Structure 1
Amino acid sequence: MRAVVFAYHNVGVRCLRVLLARGVDVALVVTHQDNPAETIWFESVASVCEEQGIPYITPDDPKSEELLHQVQAARPDLIFSFYYRHMLPVNVLGLAPQGAFNMHGSLLPKYRGRVPVNWAVLHGETETGATLHEMLAKPDAGAIVAQTAVPILPDDTAHEVFGKVTVAAEQTLWRALPEMIAGRISRQENDLRQGSYFGGRKPEDGRIDWQQSAQQIYNLHRAVAPPYPGAWTVLNGRTFIIGKARLAKETMPHLLPGLAVVDNRIFGVGGDGRAIQISTLLSDGKTVTPAELQQLL
């Protein structure tokens, strides 16, 4: 069984290794060049290809005629997409007679679209997972082949959950591949009426609204905590980013919403009078002490 694989990030690395372990002939890998403006905290698909002697390319445009011809020349039975950042055009999907399949970081049909792990944490979900599904022109809309659930614990950050989802993706693909290789591909309905769709997120989406409840603020922190850009606020013209925090047991209805220092500890007070205790607060890349923040307040 020959495959062309579009892959990036940790999920791309682990799922590519699963294909190789299952004996799939990976004829070509399509990946991305790392963006120098982005914090690269994840593994490299290109490095795996170099290690394994797999041909790989990094085209800028997945809709180019050149890419179409390169995939066609590889004669894939299957096409896979593992955290590749572009939608694949229908004419490329049609080049694989056994089908084209994507690994998505949620339990479809919930959280279709971009950065599903971050959105799930932001919304306070207690469970997410990985779904292998058929690719269509519409994003994350094809039939479900297999999926694996993972828990989201109350204090998990998106980075921690992403680690679980990466393992779930590996398990999902490992279980599904024998039947796929044999030409017996299970397809379950992906009922979009039961799901949701979300777009991408930008660093500015991490700005804290202190009128929200402490739980909502904490969920935002967890969803965008480092290595993501972080939840942030502006005080006296300076930007502060929450590095580490947890929900505080104390209630602080006597304090106004926003940053506060109490008993030499930094808190972020929500509009409901509850608070998060901030153990690491950053400004200009440096840790801010309670004393320094108190002076600003």
Structure 2
Amino acid sequence: MTRAVVFGYSEVGVRCLRVLLRHGVQVDLVVTHQDDPAEHQWFGSVARLAAEYHIPVTCPADPNTDAIVDRVASLRPDFLFSFYYRHMLCERLLASATRGALNMHGSLLPKYRGRAPVNWAIVNGETETGASLHYMQVRPDAGPLVGQQAVPILIEDTALDVSMRVAAAAERLLDRCLPDLIAGRAPGVPLDLERGSYFGRRRPEDGRIQWHRPALAIHNLIRAVAPPFPGAFGEYGGQVLRVLGSRYLEQPARHPSQAPCLYIDGDDLQLDCCDGKQLTLTRAELGNTPLTASAFVARYGTTPLSLLTSNTRRAS
């Protein structure tokens, strides 16, 4: 019987825990997080799934305390798995697994090591990402690679779309690699970190729109932080202008000399950008009120509305 301790959270955590159980792995402990009531729960619950299988669950604020390390070590797991767990694990925890500690990361390592890999990949206009299973070291996302599963990023995909695609890829990848891990036939391939990249945590403030940037860059930011993430935003007239959805069709701006500006074209709210291209804003709010085409006309008329007024902050 193969035994494991799982550190897991989010949709990847749920799907990968299911894979372990399907393969007959005995999971002796699940370490997860308390849900944050301020965070939109778009993903399944690792704690709930563990409870269904009568697996002990703990939710420590810090997994690296002596109490948790000693508890995990006393279980003598063959494997320790981290599936989208949000804390780094100390060397003593990693060493407690007699056959290896492995992590499932949401990128094609060594690219996008670190935090929020899906969001960063979309912000940077990538057309592909995926899931990577690798052995853990104290240095984040740096241990030898066991396997990868790629997924596409399409031009209209939001971070939620891609996150769900990556979760499905992680499930397929673990299902494919787990028999070899259990049988001892899954050696890791060292990562060339010099060819990769590392990104830090994203915060709500990172969703601020720099209106002078090209249309595609603004579109990438909007979809990278679209709900259920905090959303992209700017200001107009002393109010927060939130842009929660956009469509990029590579159409030329209608009012390039006034860009960046908002205006109505039929039933659509359009944004002309400084590179001479336009975006269709499919969902926007001004001061927490939906900014529909009819609401825009009622408030501002049909004249293009400049976003670089004295009341609008321009990021450098």
TM-score w.r.t. length of structure 2 = 0.91
Q: Over residues 223-275 of structure 1, what are the superposed CA-to-partner deviations in whole Å (9 max), with x where a residue is unaligned?
A: 11111111111100111212221014242313321433344531222211211
- Whole-Å separation in 2 of the counterparts to 1:270 and 1:256: 5
- How many angstroms does 1:41 deviate by? 1.6
**1:37 aligns to what?**
38
Q: Structure 1 residues 181 and 26, CA, compared in 2 at 3 Å: closer, same or farther? A: same
- On the 8 A contact 2:253/2:273 being kept in 1, the answer is no
In the alignment, what sits opposite 1:127? Answer: 128
Matching of residues 213-292 of structure 1 within 5 Å: 213-248=214-249, 249-252=251-254, 253-292=256-295
Q: Where does 1:166-177 land on structure 2 (aligned, <5 Å)?
A: 166-177=167-178
Give the secondary-structure state (helix, strand or coil) at the position aligned to 1:84: coil
CA contact (8 A) 2:16 2:170 kept: yes
CA shift at 1:276, angstroms? 0.8
Q: Counterpart of 2:119 in 1: which secondary structure? A: helix
Structure 1 stretches of 4+ with a deviation exceeding 6 A read: none
Q: Is the 8 A contact 1:112 1:196 kept in 2?
A: yes
Query: Please, what TM-score do these two structures have when normalized by structure 1?
Result: 0.96
Match of 2:10 in 1: 9
Q: CA deviation at 1:126?
A: 0.7
| Residue identity matched to 1:31 | T
Cα drift, residue 285 of structure 1: 4.2
Q: Secondary structure at the match of 2:52?
A: helix
Identify the residue that residue 92 of structure 2 maps to in structure 1. 91
Inter-partner Cα distance in structure 2 for 1:42 and 1:137: 27
- Could you tell me which residue of structure 2 aligns to residue 158 of structure 1? 159
Give, in angstroms, the shift of residue 85 of structure 1. Answer: 0.1
Q: CA deviation at 1:292?
A: 2.9
Q: Distance in 2 between matches of 1:285 and 1:84?
A: 33
Q: Do the aligned residues in 2 keep the contact of 1:145 with 1:187 (CA within 8 Å)?
A: yes
Paired residue secondary structure (1:173): helix
Moved more, 82-91 or 224-233: 224-233
**Structure 1 stretch 79-88 or stretch 49-58: which is displaced more?**
49-58
Partner of 2:70: 69
| SS, match of residue 85 in structure 2 | coil
CA RMSD of aligned residues (A): 1.3
Deviations 1:136-169 (A, max 9, x none): 0100000000100011111111110111100110
| 1:218 alignment partner, SS class | helix
Match of 2:48 in 1: 47
Instruction: Read off the aligned partner of 1:265 and give its amino acid letter.
Output: D
- SS in structure 1 at match of 2:40: coil
Q: Give the match's secondary structure for 1:282.
A: strand
1:255–1:273 contact (8 Å) kept in structure 2: no
Shift of 1:283: 3.5
Instruction: Name the CA distance, whole Å, in 1 between partners of 2:258 and 2:296.
Output: 16
Q: Is the 8 A contact 2:222 2:243 kept in 1?
A: yes
Q: Shift of residue 284 of structure 1?
A: 4.6
Amino acid at match of 2:281: I
Q: In the alignment, what sits opposite 1:206?
A: 207
Deviation at 1:129, TM superposition (A): 0.3
Does the residue aligned with 1:189 lie in a helix, a strand or coil?
coil
Tell me how far 1:184 sits from its aligned partner. 2.2
Match of 1:19 in 2: 20
Q: Percent identity?
A: 50
Opposite residue 162 of structure 2, the aligned amino acid is V
